Structure 1
Amino acid sequence: MSSKKAIVSAFSSLYTDQRIEKVCHTLFENGYLIDLIGNDWKGAEKMERPYPFSRIHLQSKSLKTAYFEFNWKLFHLLKKKSDQNTILYANDLDALLPNYIIAKKLQIPLIFDSHEIFSEMPDIQGKMSQKIWRYLEKKLVPQLPLMITASNSYARWFHEKYNANPVVVQNAPRKAAYFPQDSHNNPKVILYQGYINRSRGIDKAILAMHHMEDVVLKIAGDGTERKEYEELMIKENLQNKVHFLGKLHPEDLKKITVTADAGISIEENGGASYLYSLPNKVLDYIQARVPVVMANLPEMQNIAQRFHVGEIIEDHHPERIAKTFTRILQNGKEYYSKGLEEAAEVLCWENEEKKLLEVFQRVSQ
């Protein structure tokens, strides 16, 4: 029998989505024929992969119409590419419907990977779009026999809400071999990496810099609120203490991460998706052996209780955030090194990919 074909689709430019890259690479290395589909909305950066990939061209200018256009075009592309030897792999709710329709029509396996609780994202709270995504989630998720999600708290939420039983595959990075033990930064560097939007505590971290000396906050990433936060930085006259690095290639970002004195992941409770998240950046910092300032939310509390990898903020008041920043910088990297080493051995993709492959093996017999 020929190798199984896995068509992996996502509403994504693919360039910076490290979870999708890791999933596809693992499947490719284990003999699956990968066909990765994203889109070119807001750009299509050059990238190289050892397996085929394509980006659906979107003409839409607004995100709302882009979702509809992508799903319509994805449906027709999946219809053309899928056969009885295909496993469909849908990343997040915004790519699920066309995958579901094709899987049902052809009676082929569908695996749904919910990176987050899409219907509970802060950006759509109270909007009509939230009602649409909730309706779609309610209709489709209970009918899915194969589901993956990114945290234990997410899995519990989906089980309680829809009686689903997702397999938890955390978005951990691959093991890294070498890291400098002391970066000797002057000024010290606090790093935020990831998407720049509301409820991530970025604005509070910027304001916390009023209470810091000989420290710079570096913000690596892009997103809907970047311009607003850059304006906040200027308004507060913090240009010497806050640096926006823009969107970086994952490999370039890794080189910056290892040099930081501390990483931050101080998401606010902006709905269930953030409340129950285990942000990628937390695991990235750990793998880079960089101590972490974390929010007082369930998954990050669990990490802090299991491993001595950083500090939990009391709340999101800028002055108290600054006190936590100061504490972690005064302690230094060496103070957290044992806990970071222990966590890095456990929280790595080499452990998580085993669970991913088990799900695929169920439908590849």
Structure 2
Amino acid sequence: MSKKKVITSAFSNLYTDQRIEKVCRTLYENGYEIELIGNDWNGAEEMSRPYPFSRIQLVSKSLKTAYFEFNWKLYHQLNKKADKNTILHANDLDALLPNYLMAKKLNIPLIFDSHEIFSEMPAIQGKMSQKLWRCLEKIIVPKIKLMITASSGYANWFKTRYGINPVVVQNAPGKLNFNQGISENNPKILLYQGAINPFRGIDKAILAMHHLENVIFKIAGDGPRKTEYEELVIKENLQHKVRFLGKLHPDDLREITLNVDCGMSIEENGGESYYYSLPNKVLDCIQARVPLILSNLPEMLNIKNQFDVGEIIKNHQPLSIAEAIKTVLNKGRENYQAELEKAADALCWENEEVKLLQVFEKASQSF
């Protein structure tokens, strides 16, 4: 029996969204007919994929109206493209409503993939928009039959809140057969990779550079706090120690990650979405066999308790961050390799995609 058609949709310009790319590639390689729909918010860089994709053009100038416009246009796209032989795959709460309505209309399966707890993101806390997203979540999520999410903390949160049992599919990179030598950098390189958002500990790490010698802090990514943090670097006279690399293609970022001395994932407790997160950068660094400094949040502690892949910071004071970085650099990347190797074997996409395919197989059988 031939595999079903899958329409994957997300409020994303798709270019750097590694989770969506991995999910679609896995489904495509396993015989599903894939169509991916995103949008052109924050740009529409050129992309090449082996399956069809499109970006909904948005005319909105503010994010609030962009969400409404995207959901309206996405519903009409799904209405044209979906049929009785389709599985709908909605990524995050901001793409869920049109998928839910279409699944109901056609009586077809819907898989909800929650990359985070969208309604508890720091950017919307205390705002009217948070009430709207929470209301939408409360109405739809308890009715979802098939759901995946990115960490066990998220899964437990959704189970406690809505009585649903999501399957955990961590956003791990593909297994990297690491056979390159470990580079000796002088000065040493600390890397942050990801969105330049609040509560990521980036500003505190910048200030920690006052307490470190012979270390360069590279920041790969873009986001709403980039200008503020660039100004902080100038104000603190740290231009010789901090470099902004901008938004990079995943392949280019991977190349950089492979050659640094220490990664960082020191998210602050900016609400439940951050508290229970397992950031991509943790798994990316592990796969590149790079030790990290980590926050003492549940998912990162869980990894540290299983594998000695780095150091937990005591708190977010710049001096404490600097001390953790010094510990990693003094110990040396080579001394973390055995544990990083074990972690890389366990925390890879090849293990995660097995669970993903089981969920889509279940959806296929529900026709």
- Normalised by the length of structure 1, the TM-score is 0.99
Find the counterpart in structure 2 of residue 9 from structure 1: 9
How many percent identity over aligned positions? 70
Find the counterpart in structure 2 of residue 240 from structure 1: 240
Q: What are the ranges of 5 or more consecutive residues in structure 2 without an aligned counterpart?
A: none
Runs of 4+ that moved beyond 4 A: none
Find the counterpart in structure 1 of residue 268 from structure 2: 268
Find the counterpart in structure 1 of residue 110 from structure 2: 110
1:204-223 per-residue CA deviation (whole Å, 9 max, x = no partner) reads: 00010010100010000001
Is 2:292 the counterpart of 1:292? yes
1:37-89 per-residue CA deviation (whole Å, 9 max, x = no partner) reads: 00001210001000000000001111111101000000000010000000000
Aligned partners of 1:179 and 1:289 also within 8 Å: no
Aligned partners of 1:179 and 1:258 also within 8 Å: no
Find the counterpart in structure 2 of residue 141 from structure 1: 141
Find the counterpart in structure 1 of residue 162 from structure 2: 162
Task: Tell me the CA shift for residue 179 of structure 1.
Answer: 4.6
Task: Tell me the CA shift for residue 184 of structure 1.
Answer: 1.1
Is 2:183 the counterpart of 1:189? no
Aligned partners of 1:180 and 1:258 also within 8 Å: no
User: Which residue identity lines up with residue 228 of structure 1 in the other structure?
Assistant: E
SS at the partner of 2:364? coil
Give the paired residue count: 365
Aligned partners of 1:78 and 1:102 also within 8 Å: yes
Task: Tell me the CA shift for residue 363 of structure 1.
Answer: 1.8
1:244-293 per-residue CA deviation (whole Å, 9 max, x = no partner) reads: 00000000000000001000000000000000000000000000000011
- Cα gap change, 1:72 to 1:356, in 2 (>3 Å): same
Find the counterpart in structure 2 of residue 309 from structure 1: 309
User: Which residue identity lines up with residue 241 of structure 1 in the other structure?
Assistant: K
- Give the CA RMSD over aligned residues: 0.7
SS at the partner of 1:111? strand
Aligned partners of 2:146 and 2:363 also within 8 Å: no
Q: What are the ranges of 5 or more consecutive residues in structure 1 without an aligned counterpart?
A: none
For residues 179 and 313 of structure 1, the distance between their equivalents in structure 2, rounded to whole angstroms, comes to: 30
Is 2:86 the counterpart of 1:86? yes
For residues 306 and 28 of structure 2, the distance between their equivalents in structure 1, rounded to whole angstroms, comes to: 33
Aligned partners of 1:294 and 1:312 also within 8 Å: yes
Find the counterpart in structure 1 of residue 326 from structure 2: 326
Aligned partners of 2:261 and 2:290 also within 8 Å: yes
SS at the partner of 1:363? helix
Find the counterpart in structure 1 of residue 202 from structure 2: 202
User: Which residue identity lines up with residue 259 of structure 2 in the other structure?
Assistant: T
For residues 178 and 297 of structure 1, the distance between their equivalents in structure 2, rounded to whole angstroms, comes to: 28
For residues 227 and 12 of structure 2, the distance between their equivalents in structure 1, rounded to whole angstroms, comes to: 21
User: Which residue identity lines up with residue 302 of structure 1 in the other structure?
Assistant: N
SS at the partner of 2:13? coil
Find the counterpart in structure 1 of residue 281 from structure 2: 281
For residues 346 and 171 of structure 1, the distance between their equivalents in structure 2, rounded to whole angstroms, comes to: 13
Is 2:354 the counterpart of 1:354? yes
Task: Tell me the CA shift for residue 181 of structure 1.
Answer: 3.5
Aligned partners of 1:285 and 1:291 also within 8 Å: yes
Is 2:71 the counterpart of 1:44? no
- Normalised by the length of structure 2, the TM-score is 0.99
Find the counterpart in structure 2 of residue 77 from structure 1: 77
For residues 42 and 337 of structure 1, the distance between their equivalents in structure 2, rounded to whole angstroms, comes to: 38
User: Which residue identity lines up with residue 136 of structure 1 in the other structure?
Assistant: L
Aligned partners of 1:115 and 1:150 also within 8 Å: yes
